[in-house]
A and B are shown apart, each in its own frame.
Chain A
Amino acid sequence: MSESDLTWEAVIGLETHVQLGTNSKIFTAASTTFGDEPNTHIDPIVCGLPGTLPVLNQKVLQYAVKAALALNLNIAEQSKFDRKQYFYPDLPKNYQISQFDEPIAEDGWIDVEVAEKGKETYTKKVGIERLHMEEDAGKLVHAGSDRLAGSTHSLVDYNRAGVALAEIVSKPDLRTGREAAEYAAEIRRIMRYLGVSDGNMQEGSLRCDVNISVRQGPNAPFGTKVEIKNMNSFSAIQKACEYEIQRQINAYENAELVVQETRLWDESKQLTKSMRSKEGSSDYRYFPDPDLGPIEVSKELRESWRAELPELPAAKRTRYIEELGLSAYDARVLTDEYSMAYYFEEVVSSGADAKSGSNWITGDIAAYLKSTRQSFVDLPFKPKQLAEMINMINDGKISGKIAKEILPELLAHGGSPQKIVADRGLGMISDPEVITEIIDELLKDHPNEVEAFRAGKKKLQGFFVGQLMKKTSGKADPKLVNKILIKKLSD
């Protein structure tokens, strides 16, 4: 059997850094605002001056525990902070305050829905090793060159240093680039549902490092692990994994070595390239930070935070499918953003049917919000008003066509669909007598077509319906029209 006959399998794990959306930093009152002038949010604690004392932000603890609960992790009764030592100028103290052997939470899982065009959608349970709290580092600007190599010196901005992070480490359960991207997207979705992070990848509030190796079949030992960084979108995560998997397979099949290293994803060239490591040997010499006392999360506190968790995306998806009868696709689209799911649920609880609600929300309304760069929260057209409009259609008071006609005004200004329809005289004609009268007149005006129809040219029914809609500006109830028309034509 030749090498290429064997099936290669990738083994992928993700380390996700999530910036927790607190106002002040993890251990000090400096602001966390993004995008301000360099070094405006620094203070003696951020800079690690002697004699300063870091104190944990209680909101960071709350957010970290809530995030951990949402990921089905076990919350440690006691945890502590450690110093991770390394020298790099983005770190003002030469150590990062992190958690080493007693993280706040361990051993959890999430259900990830993996959907890819042309492939069957499936749900995968992905294990989560741990979640711990730590501080972010600053930002470096390399001068004299746009890259580190070739720069003459570097400039440091410590605004981001000390911003609270939750680091979430997955188990090596992922097998494809798509799975890795879907896992990262689900983590982001959960964090946004919880309101603990905005998960903005462009601004770096959500960053993923990927550990990846390949092996020959599911029972083979793990291959050499390579870390890839620098992906700033979910599609970049997928593409970087796919590139790296192929690169490693090629290396093994050409009898070349895969070395343990860190590689950077190059978005413009669509490939990964080797990066020299930060420190020759990563010997971080962790030890407990003597400035910070241990953390104890009592059962009462933990349960009170658990009680505050919203319904999470995976649970919503299942409920939308099983209880509201939506398709898996609709459920997935509706639950992607909490604000959309919330809007949808308000529409349903206002008495509209779920399928119609889903169609309007994921169709016309989502397109409108995208083009005007608004969110469901700012939309003047309120869920109750959409429910009212849907019910008018379903009750035969207006046609779908009329609904589309009044939609732009509703989207822009909101208001009562019933009132708009009444004011503009757009209500559906659903009085059988009125419709019969119009049909009689129509048939009288088109004797030739009537004759042709009766002679067997049944396609002409469409012609009559069209003429009738034209006459009534689309306001005639189409069901009634068809019923009466057939009756009249066959008389």
Chain B
Amino acid sequence: MSKITPEDVRKVAKLARLEIPEDQVEMYTSQLEDILSYVDQLQKVDTSSIPPTTRAVEVVNVLRKDEVKSTVVREELLDLAPQREGDFFRVPKILAD
């Protein structure tokens, strides 16, 4: 397991749109390192003969019929947004980065 660097923390924070003050980067670096090394212990178990599990409950083909039900909560959903403008959700200026 490679070591977590402050650069990794900044990158993960950016991807998750989390704002981390520069003076806390080191703290998160060591915390993340601790968590990952804890999880790392699991890697010691030999799983070479066990197929990967992607979910805890083994159900397949949970499907529904192609039927339309119109929503009754449109107004509530629009009101839940931080900003609405008429029938639209309003979002701040989009910056290309």
Contacts and interface: CB of A to CB of B under 8 A. Distances in A.
Interface stretch (A10-18, A274-282, A314-322, A397-405): A274-282
A65 to B, nearest CB: 12
A56 interface: yes
Interface string B60-97: 11111111111101100110100001111111111011
B93 A154 contact: yes
A80 interface: yes
A153 B92 CA distance: 5
Q: Please report whether the interface of chain A is mostly helix, strand, loop or mixed according to DSSP.
A: loop
Given A276-B96, A288-B54, A57 B85 contact: no
Contacts of B77: 39, 42-44, 47, 49
A39 B73 CA distance: 11
A294 B66 contact: no
Interface in B23-63: 54-55, 57, 59-63
A276 B57 CA distance: 42
B1 interface: no
Contact of A151 (B55, B69, B93): B93
Nearest to A288: B54
A472 interface: no
Contacts of B15: 85, 283, 285
Given A42-B74, A293-B60, A294-B54, A155 B88 contact: yes
A184 interface: no
Contacts of B63: 55-58, 61
Contact of A58 (B66, B69, B85, B86): B66
Interface in A136-182: 140-142, 148-149, 151-158
Contact of A56 (B62, B69, B71): B62
Interface string A41-78: 11110010100000111111100000000000000001
B61 A153 contact: no
Interface of A: 22-24, 29-31, 37-44, 47, 49, 55-61, 78, 80, 85, 87-89, 140-142, 148-149, 151-158, 275-281, 283, 285, 288, 290, 292-296
Query: What 4 pairs across the A-B complex have the smallest Cβ distances?
Result: A276-B96, A155-B88, A59-B66, A58-B63
